[in-house]
Amino acid sequence: MQEFVGIVCGQCDALSPLGAPRCVCCGHELTASHAPKHEAVASTGLTEEELMEQARNYVCQECSSPVPSGHKFCGACGATVPEEIQNAQTKYFSSMQAPGKARLTLIRGDQQGIDDGFSYLLQGQEHIVGRADAQILFLEDNWLSPRHANFIYRGDKLVVRDEGSLNGVYVRVRGTVPVTVGSQFLCGEQVFRLDATPKDTSGPDPDQTFFYSSPKRPSPFRITQILAGGLEGMVFCARENVARIGREDADMNFPTDIYMSGSHARVEAQGSNFTLTDEDSRNGTYVRIEGEKELAHGDYLFLGRQLLRVEMTS
Which residue type occupies 156? D
pLDDT of residue 261: 97
- The model's pLDDT over 234-273, given as tens digits with 9 standing for 90+, comes to 999 999 999 999 999 999 999 999 999 999 999 999 989 9
**Lowest-confidence range among 35-39, 132-136, 204-208, 215-219?**
35-39
- The model's pLDDT over 37-62, given as tens digits with 9 standing for 90+, comes to 444 434 445 554 444 444 445 667 67
Reported pTM: 0.67
In terms of phi and psi (left: phi > 0; alpha: psi -120 to 50; beta: otherwise), the region of 296 is beta
Cα–Cα distance, 266 to 251 (Å, whole number): 9
First to last CA, the chain: 40
pLDDT of residue 79: 81
Cα–Cα distance, 58 to 52 (Å, whole number): 10
Whether residue 8 has pLDDT greater than 50:
yes
Q: What percent of the chain has pLDDT over 90?
A: 53
Whether residue 279 has pLDDT greater than 80:
yes
